[in-house]
Structure 1
């Protein structure tokens, strides 16, 4: 099948490749319609690696996807050919200790699309376990279906935060994941969310949503804005979604005593955290790695209309222009939140 492939660091191609396509009894075959471009996809293209995951051989990119089932395995129930679906890209070992504990996202044996050496889904069709395939309601488009994956990260963050209705949350970083966290926090019961970034363009997009207050930290320290909005008390929950080591300089000051700090962004550089100050406030610190047991609820929130992801799709490219789409994503336009690629039937 033809696919978008990262051949090696800095080199993409659209070419044919032989991919596994054996349909097991518990699998479904899916014709891919829409695939979102994630920052991790771009990083494999531009850097050839993320931590210990290295592109040592050509790999198909893409893991945020939606499509239509064309065939089901003999033991599949609840799904049928013709169903429009989105897919959870990480498949764990069902017998692992992590899976048994319900934390399959941290299973060392998980096979995650577009994570070396596992191929992604920027191609015409894939085979995937039915257990990690979710039927799209009629009112949810393929574009929205392909956005469920990044929204699931926001759902995981909101779940880990243990939101209490009425909480005030603060999010550092107004990129795709930061906005997803803000939307999930509101849906989870937060009364309002302050979101900080240096990009006026990204803040303007986030600020379109009722309940989200953008803070441009190029002109006002986030600490001052939070203090003003909370009468000096601090945010009930602070989500770090920028991945910047600089965000940790005063992050403890943003959280109220007894509040929660939820770490989502992955810093490249070593960070320094003021542990004595965190202890003095008796903060609860949570971390987030991908997601587990939230994909269906993320889809349900979008289907209900309580979460609208449509304004976050900045542009859609035909499959033939997939390389150009990745070049635009790598350029990092401040007005871009999510770029998507459509694959012809």
Structure 2
């Protein structure tokens, strides 16, 4: 195979197949990258098991993967910032750069975004992948390609933390101890948060969170959101409530509890996606005059900030890697993620020289 690719044919069916190697002939500002490590995201698994996420529907075979880092193998004639052999983190969404949202600095909201492994666009689990040079971020010396693959979820956490305006001394409660939730804790800590509470039902992940970046952990009970919020404030030393709440779970009880646990005038960020419609505590939101925001992917500066946070060791991502597997084991790795085994699994390759 010249360009071996891991392809979702349709719901519940994946195959390995050879795809054409992308050409830079008509793309002078693009680079051709050989992905070396790719992390598995929940959205990849969701497309595999459900065939869709909202209005994004898998209607034709699609290469999976979007959390990748690799090595530059060729550069377009107008490329100035990169050269063959450079190791790069790959930002997987290509905006149009011309619409109102792009021009106002919110390119993550571009209606014509071409995002890897989001139908109908192919992802990065392939021998070669093409990107504009400004979406390939050179990794500093001493930073591994495995760490580079984790820049994508780190950039999501950076975007969330920036949207929340987390600052020195803030108290932050994060619902969900998956990769993004854990990274939100790490970024909040790097930004100076003094109290960081992780809320989850998985005891192993909460134990990990406490060792990783959280100062407190909390497990909710089958009582009302108000009662759980009151107990969290009491047990975690937040008598007036938290300054910031991040929901990285998408679970309705977490959303409801998150609004209740905030202080007056606090900030709530929705980072996780769940059911399309939920029951929402609108009275508490209004009477506490909360700042309530959604957060989607990442925007200008988030990827570079993520690279710098990891390179400077202000946050560490190595601990999140539970397992590393070969390209030929990709399907089993997806099965492991589906069944909640581990935090982050990385897929190596493919090795196009074989």
TM-score, normalised via structure 1 length: 0.96
- Indicate which of 310, 318, 335 corresponds to 1:327: 335
Matching residue of 2:307: 299
Matching residue of 1:308: 316
Matching residue of 1:127: 130
Q: Distance in 2 between matches of 1:133 and 1:276?
A: 45
Q: 1:233-272 maps to which residues of 2 (within 5 A)?
A: 233-272=240-279
Matched, 1:280 2:297: no
Q: Distance in 1 between matches of 2:255 and 2:161?
A: 20
CA contact (8 A) 1:248 1:272 kept: no
Q: 1:154-169 maps to which residues of 2 (within 5 A)?
A: 154-169=157-172
CA contact (8 A) 1:215 1:222 kept: no
Name the count of aligned residue pairs. Answer: 343
Matching residue of 1:144: 147
SS in 1 for 2:37: strand
- Worse-matched range after superposition: 79-88 or 205-214: 205-214
- Indicate which of 326, 329, 347 corresponds to 1:341: 347
Matched, 1:8 2:10: yes
- Indicate which of 135, 143, 156 corresponds to 1:153: 156
Cα 1:204–1:228 change in 2 (3 A) is: closer
Cα 1:185–1:297 change in 2 (3 A) is: same
Q: Distance in 2 between matches of 1:21 and 1:207?
A: 47
Matched, 1:86 2:89: yes
Matched, 1:181 2:187: no
- Indicate which of 22, 25, 29 corresponds to 1:26: 29
Superposed displacement of residue 19, structure 1? 5.6
Matched, 1:171 2:179: no
SS in 2 for 1:42: helix
> What are the ranges of 5 or more consecutive residues in structure 1 without an aligned counterpart?
none
Matched, 1:48 2:51: yes
Q: 1:218-233 maps to which residues of 2 (within 5 A)?
A: 218=221, 221=228, 223-233=230-240
RMSD (Å), alpha carbons:
1.5
Cα 1:81–1:19 change in 2 (3 A) is: closer
> What are the ranges of 5 or more consecutive residues in structure 2 without an aligned counterpart?
none
